[in-house]
Amino acid sequence: LSLVDVKEDFFKVLHPKLTVLIAAYSKDKRPNVMACSWITPASEEPPLIAAFLARTSYTRQLILESKYFTVNVPTLDLLKAVWVAGTRSGRRGDKIKAMGVAVKPAKNVDAPIIDGCAAYLECKLNQAIEVGECTALIGEVVEAYANPQLFQAGAWSVERAKLLLHLGGALFTLPSGTVKAK
Amino acid sequence: LSLVDVKEDFFKVLHPKLTVLIAAYSKDKRPNVMACSWITPASEEPPLIAAFLARTSYTRQLILESKYFTVNVPTLDLLKAVWVAGTRSGRRGDKIKAMGVAVKPAKNVDAPIIDGCAAYLECKLNQAIEVGECTALIGEVVEAYANPQLFQAGAWSVERAKLLLHLGGALFTLPSGTVKAK
């Protein structure tokens, strides 16, 4: 079998990737949100996550200013809102309104959360590192909460939680079934 | 609906995550490999990826010494090997042998690749950043190649490529079906 060069699409080799909505306030407390799939846990103790945001991103700018953000995990019913969040900039116009979602303040950080998501992480900016054309925003997780019908006993119930896994472009896939390694 | 605290399991909220095998040579050119799911693209141009490895990891040590590593994307048929890679240390004993896989030299970097994977990224270490209990290894992708029956037109064919998505512990899920956002 001969393998073919995929250098142009190297990043899609690391997909499918869970797509989340990242939200923050502007200085005048207007909520903004973006879609992100370049995100990963970074440390269990202390609890840290890393999100890679384009340097041109408006949400990145807001997080660097406010030092707080939330990670909102949407499911299939929010696909249209995710697509709007991922393809428009909040610099011009009200993206929240275009997404058709409701926001409210987070519990313990100065950032908004998006109604109707399956789980939430509330984060305080810990470190910002320039990496190529992106900035790695390292967030300390101060709160984490989830819908108990979808996330149970420390894991997603993938048959119930229709998590959006980004394949590239407008294409997503869903997790299905479980296999045990031992 | 009331949401429940999942702070203890905050990192599993960002799963399911694609599981890869990361491989590097020791100074005496012995191949070593580990399983990793805390990995993400970090920049498209320049082409960078970020993998978060525990500071205690032997593979991390080898990569810091050799400056090169490969990312190997396994599928369901390699599940047992992935489990061995993720639960044993190469510091003691021959992990490659225990995994029952064959390795060979990468094309353009001084690191091994694992036979039978669906795709490969060959990386040169670009930056190493301490983040909590892990080290973020930023790799510049110098080669990327894939099985054309599984990765086509810049995306995984998820019905054919039984990619391993880690849920936590010994539990994995698979991607299934595609949905289009527009």
Average pLDDT (B118-144) is: 98
A178 contacts on B by Cβ (under 8 Å): 167, 171-173
Residue B90 — pLDDT band, cuts 50, 70, 90? Answer: confident
The pTM of the full predicted model, rounded to 2 decimals, is 0.97
B168 contacts on A by Cβ (under 8 Å): 154-155
Q: Is the pLDDT of residue B146 over 80?
A: yes
The pair of structure tokens assigned to A127 is: 């470190």
Distance CA A44, CA A48 (A): 7
Q: Which of B50, B145, B169 sits opposite A136 (nearest CB)?
A: B50
Q: Is the pLDDT of residue B94 over 90?
A: no
Distance CA B96, CA B31 (A): 8
- Residue B7 confidence (pLDDT): 97
Closest residue of A to B180, CA-based? A171
- Choose from B15, B38, B43 for mutation: most chain A CBs within 10 A: B43
Query: Å from A25 to nearest chain B CA?
Result: 22
- Residue B91 confidence (pLDDT): 84
DSSP code per residue over A35-86: EE--EEEEETTTTEEEEEEETT-HHHHHHHHH-EEEEEE-BGGGHHHHHHHH
pLDDT per residue as tens digits for the range B13-32: 999 999 999 999 999 999 99
Q: Which of B73, B132, B141 sits opposite A42 (nearest CB)?
A: B132
Q: CB–CB of B129 and A129 under 8 A?
A: yes
ipTM confidence: 0.97
pLDDT per residue as tens digits for the range A10-33: 999 999 999 999 999 999 999 999
Low-confidence ranges of chain A (pLDDT < 70): none
Give the CB-side neighbour count of residue A32, counting CA atoms within 13 A: 23
Q: CB–CB of B146 and A4 under 8 A?
A: yes
Q: Which of A76, A129, A165 sits opposite B175 (nearest CB)?
A: A165
A50 contacts on B by Cβ (under 8 Å): 40, 50, 52, 131, 136
Average pLDDT (B103-108) is: 98
Q: CB–CB of B131 and A133 under 8 A?
A: no
